[in-house]
Amino acid sequence: MDKFPCKYLGLQLSIWQLTRAEWQPIVDNVLNFLPGWQRGLITRAGRLVLVHDVVMARPTHHLLVADAPKWAVECVNKRCRAFFWEGTEQIHGGQCLVSWQKVCRPKELGGLGIMDLKRHGLALRLRWEWLRRTDPSKPWHGLPMTCNPQVQIAFNSLVHWRLGSGDKVLFWKDRWIDGASIDDIAPDIKKLIRTQTANKRLVKDGLLNHRWASDITGELSTDGLIQLIRLWEIMLNTQLNPNQQDEAIWPWNERGVYTSASAYKMLFMGAIKAAFACWIWKCWAPLPIKIFMWLALQYRVWTSDRRLRHGLQEQASSCFLCAQEEDNIDHIMTQCAYSKQVWFTTFSRSRIDTLLIPDGNNTLETWWGATRKHIHKTYRRAFDSLVSLVCWSIWKQRNNRVFRDNSNWMSATELVTKIFEELHLWTLAGGKGVSVWCE
Ligand SMILES: [Zn+2]
């Protein structure tokens, strides 16, 4: 047998923490999958797919066993970030339109769904702790194992217990009182328990002759006293069932059993849902348009108000389409006279109530959110596709006026003709639902 660390099934096996020199090849191996000289030829949408599918999927099996050091995770993140935004190896903050942290959120939480490596690793390593506590049939069961404190905390906060004989459940740490832990009910008491005791005391032993009370060391505050009385009451009403096994419950999916996907999701607990996510990502628009809409709804496209804020121009430009108001995303998409004509013509051709076109007082997000509710559920996805296409077309037209000569400029009517040609192509490419607007 080789000396440790050695390679086994492609993994670096070691009985101690891997060193930097041992991690480096793993990091390089991931980064090698980013294309070299031809990287500039790939569009942002293509780069998103690449980062998402290839690069982020590769570290997975290593993260499953080892807790990657911070520098390694950062190194991979940095390179992926530069590659995604600019197709380069390095990037400075100003070139990233949205923070990487946000990019790495699930789509429904406003991100692009790229794997968050830290959370992903934690979710995967939670599996060992789950198996250790719930599956005695594993051959390694009973061997002394160290558990990373973060995994331990995640396990204790996510897993609930249904009490049976009480010989598997930790009295001071696990969530065994109707999904709550002692820390939830009596935080001041929990503070007075030695870590060593807390790591060992089982519910079965704790309840025997109220032994748990003798685990408490030190002075009780007034709050602590009240909490103690509460605990006492709870313990008096707790019944063990010696004929039944304690049962771990994973409350975060329907089957009640740990899965890494549900764990990963739970590690984003507290993040706010982005309503627009389901409008953008579920529609039939091609990925580049979806990414554009994702940026536009967060005001992260380079309109002149944004360029002004970043010191890239001296004063705001007026709208390139109507020359009336300031060039910003809400004006361009919903308030501009040119755009309103595009919306009006598009809606009347699609037989959508033309009263629903933007009235000029709304932001793109509030108008879209309110209007799609007037569309019958069956057609909502098709409607979201249409909105995305119209916004994208208006944006392209705006850019033509900024960067190209007037042979590329189109009247609102010409633009609508183009929109319907494009829509027809989407139908042919499989977006069957959008055909409802084409007839
Ligand atoms: Zn305008």
pLDDT tens track for 203-220: 999 999 999 999 999 888
Please report which helix (H) or strand (E) contains residue 112, including its range: none
The CA-atom distances, in angstroms, between 247 and each of 136, 164, 235, 256, 390 are: 12, 7, 19, 11, 54
For residue 79, the model assigns a pLDDT of 87
How many Å lie between the centroid of ligand 1 and the Cα of residue 397? Answer: 12
**Residue count (the chain):** 439
- Residue 333 C-alpha to ligand 1 middle, in angstroms? 9
8 pLDDT band (50/70/90 cuts)? low
328 C-alpha to center of ligand 1: Å? 9
Work out the pLDDT band at 377, boundaries 50, 70, 90.
very high
What's the CA gap between 94 and 398, in Å, rounded? Answer: 23
Asked whether the predicted pLDDT for residue 263 surpasses 70, the reply is: yes
The string of pLDDT tens digits covering residues 96-154 is 899 999 999 999 999 999 988 889 888 988 998 899 888 878 777 777 777 778 888 88
User: Cα(419) to centroid of ligand 1, in Å?
Assistant: 19
Instruction: Answer yes or no: is pLDDT of 320 > 60.
Output: yes
Count of Cβ atoms closer than 10 Å to residue 302 Cβ: 13
Using 50, 70 and 90 to split pLDDT, how confident is the model at 37? low
Is 390 a residue whose pLDDT tops 90? yes
Distance 319 CA to ligand 1 centre (A): 4
Cα-to-centroid distance, 435 and ligand 1 (Å) = 30
Res 10: pLDDT? 63
CA 308 to centroid of ligand 1, rounded, Å? 18
What is the Å distance from ligand 1's center to 332 Cα? Answer: 5
The answer for residues whose C-beta is within 8 angstroms of residue 208's C-beta and 6 or more apart is none
Mean pLDDT, the chain, rounded, equals 88
322 CA → ligand 1 middle, Å: 4
In tens, the pLDDT along 419-439 reads 999 999 999 888 878 888 886
| Residue 85, C-beta contacts closer than 8 angstroms, at least 6 positions apart | 44, 91, 95, 96, 97
Question: Does residue 363 sit in helix, strand or coil?
Answer: coil
How close is the Cα of 139 to the center of ligand 1, in Å? Answer: 69
From start to end of 293-361, where are the E strands?
none
Cα–Cα distance for residue pair 140/94, rounded to 1 Å: 50
> Ligand 1 centre and the CA of 370: distance in Å?
22
- At residue 437, the pLDDT reads 84
CA of 314 to the centre of ligand 1 (A): 20
pLDDT in tens, 322-371: 988 899 999 999 999 999 999 999 999 999 999 999 988 889 999 999 99
Model confidence at 222, in pLDDT bands (50, 70, 90)? very high
- Give how far the C-alpha of residue 238 lies from the chain's centroid of Cα atoms, to the nearest Å: 39
Three-class secondary structure assignment of 377-413: HHHHHHHHHHHHHHHHHHHHHHHHHHHCCHHHCCCHH
3 state SS of 336: coil
**Higher-confidence position of 386 and 75:** 386
C-alpha of residue 337 to centroid of ligand 1, in Å: 6
Distance 340 CA to ligand 1 centre (A): 9
Show me where the domains of the chain are located. Answer: 6-115, 160-249, 276-437
Residue 357 alpha carbon to ligand 1 centre in Å = 15
- Identify the three-state secondary structure at position 361: coil
Q: In a 10 Å sphere around its CB, with 0-12 CB exposed, 13-18 middle and 19+ buried, how is residue 420 labelled?
A: middle
- Sequence-ordered alpha helix ranges (H) in 92-218: 100-103, 117-134, 149-158, 182-185, 187-190, 195-200, 203-207, 211-214
The answer to which of 30-34, 107-111, 118-122, 308-312 has the lowest mean pLDDT is: 30-34
Question: Cα of 272 to ligand 1 centre, how many Å?
Answer: 32
Four-residue CA torsion sign, 251, 252, 257, 258: negative
Compute CA distances 275 → 113, 132, 271, 294, 380, whole Å. Answer: 15, 39, 13, 12, 14
Distance 98 CA to ligand 1 centre (A): 26
Q: Is 332 exposed, middle or buried (0-12, 13-18, 19+ CB in 10 A)?
A: buried
Dihedral sign computed on CA atoms, order 393, 395, 396, 401: positive
**Cβ atoms within 10 Å of 95's Cβ, excluding its own:** 12
Residues 135 and 141 sit within 8 Å (Cβ to Cβ): yes
Distance (angstroms) between ligand 1 centre and the Cα of 412 equals 12
Mention every residue, 6+ apart, whose C-beta is less than 8 A from residue 92: none
Is the model's pLDDT at 270 over the cut of 90? no
**Cα(336) to centroid(ligand 1), Å:** 4
156-191: pLDDT as tens digits: 889 999 999 999 999 999 999 999 999 999 999 999
In order of 155, 237, 422, the CA distances from 166 in angstroms are 18, 14, 65
Query: What is the CA(301)–ligand 1 centre distance, in A?
Result: 16
Measured in angstroms, how far is the CA atom of residue 303 from the centroid of ligand 1?
A: 12
Q: At residue 398, does pLDDT exceed 90? A: yes
**Could you tell me the distance, in angstroms and rounded to a whole number, from the CA of residue 329 to the centre of ligand 1?**
10
DSSP one-letter string for 200-213: H-BHHHHHGGGHHH
pTM of the model: 0.84
For the cut 80, the answer to whether the pLDDT of residue 4 exceeds it is no
Cα 323 to averaged position of ligand 1 atoms, centre (Å): 6
CB atoms within 10 A of CB 363: 16
Question: How far is the C-alpha of 75 from the C-alpha of 94, rounded, in Å?
Answer: 19
pLDDT (0 to 100) of residue 60: 67
Mean pLDDT (whole number) for 283-293: 95
